[in-house]
Chain A
Amino acid sequence: MNNLKRTCVAALCAVPVLVGVKASAHHAFGAEFDPNRPLILRGPVVKIEWTNPHAWFHIEHTNEDGTKTVWMVEAGTPNTLLRRGIHRNSVPIGTQVVVDGYQSKDLSMRANGRNMTFANGQTMFMGSSGTGAPRDGADPTEGATADEQKKLDAAKEADSEKEKE
């Protein structure tokens, strides 16, 4: 009994340490950004911070009333962006882009970027994977959304039914 008690205490002592080490890769989407506030920003890139662990694109968006607002859009790491084909010299200041993403929870002019589309139609996923962001299809590594998966499963089942007949 005494041994059991001691083991339990030891396990409890270790829990905060384990939790702290485990959660090391990303900071969670939900802590800062609101999945219910999707937005689309159009305009020139006015500044880029190529910093770790997240790059930040500053985009001057033109509002409906003609006024302009500069938004800070969070992207993946410089390394992630390089692997998707863009580096610091490939997006000159002034490049016209369309960015869709989600606004920050504190309603400041910040957003979590998802897709960035260039004037030639090229689209790039600019965010980080595995952060718990909505499965909106922007991240090519996340696989099918729940709805898409349901449709895929239904189609598969229909196929196997046909084969039986």
Chain B
Amino acid sequence: MDSRYVPSLLHSFTQWLDSHAWSTALHESLWVWPLVESTHVLTVSLFVGVLVMVDLRLLGFAFKDTPVSVMTARVLPWSIGGFCLMVVTGLLLFYANPVHLAHNVWFRLKVILLVMAAVNAWAFHRRVSRDRARWDSQPRPPVSVRLVAATSVSVWAGVILAGRMIAYNWFECGRDQSAFILWAAGCAVDVTS
């Protein structure tokens, strides 16, 4: 038990993951970890890049002459491919360093934003299945659709920024932190050791 962290089910789980030989091997690997991290960044740009173009179409900024259904049919397979690789590499990166990441405030913020993105995607598909035929060819879809697209762009931008910030350890457990950070990161208060 590391005195820097508040004991919890999540903490026990990440410690169990961390005890795996494969987790350590990945964290210390010469080639696999850099490859996995690079692939994660590249597939994030593939997935989010395509998603942003679709969102710009839904917002009425881009490809206004192309029906939404035509555009999504053409580009979404690329996005889904990027998404799958992004998720697999993301999980591997977490597996390599689970305890540290689970107590990183930026990582926690990123997970919250990912949940928001998932809820937003679910809302979009519900909206689409309802009456897409009505606005499919409109240069500027209805306001509810545009709202979902704007949320998508903002939330994914937030995911990327939060993900980038994970590398900075200003709010690491075991350092002098504010009460808010201690709570938000699951750090133990007594860190004098």
A163 close to chain B: CB less than 8 A: no
**A21, A53, A88: the one within 8 Å of B44 (CB):** A21
Asked whether A6 lies within 8 Å of B61 as measured between CB atoms, the reply is yes
User: Nearest CB to that of B163 among chain A residues?
Assistant: A20
Chain A 92-122 interface mask (CB, 8 Å, partner B; 1/0): 0000000000000010100000000000000
Residues in chain A near residue B27, CB distance under 8 A: 51-52
B1 close to chain A: CB less than 8 A: no
- B6-51 interface with A by 8 A CB criterion: 27-31, 33-34, 37, 41, 44-45, 48-49
26 cross-chain CB contacts under 8 A = A6-B60, A6-B61, A9-B61, A10-B56, A13-B52, A16-B160, A16-B161, A17-B52, A17-B160, A20-B157, A20-B160, A20-B161, A20-B163, A21-B41, A21-B48, A23-B164, A27-B167, A32-B168, A51-B28, A52-B27, A52-B28, A52-B33, A53-B33, A79-B30, A79-B31, A88-B28
Interface centre among B27, B156, B163 (most CB of A within 10 A): B27
Chain B 37-76 interface mask (CB, 8 Å, partner A; 1/0): 1000100110011001000100111100000000000000
B138 close to chain A: CB less than 8 A: no
B148 close to chain A: CB less than 8 A: no
Q: Given A10-B61, A17-B160, is A82 in contact with B30 using a C-beta cutoff of 8 Å?
A: yes
Q: In the complex, A20→B61 CA distance in Å?
A: 22
Q: In the complex, A82→B156 CA distance in Å?
A: 36
Q: In the complex, A31→B45 CA distance in Å?
A: 25
Asked whether B56 lies within 8 Å of A52 as measured between CB atoms, the reply is no
A89 close to chain B: CB less than 8 A: no
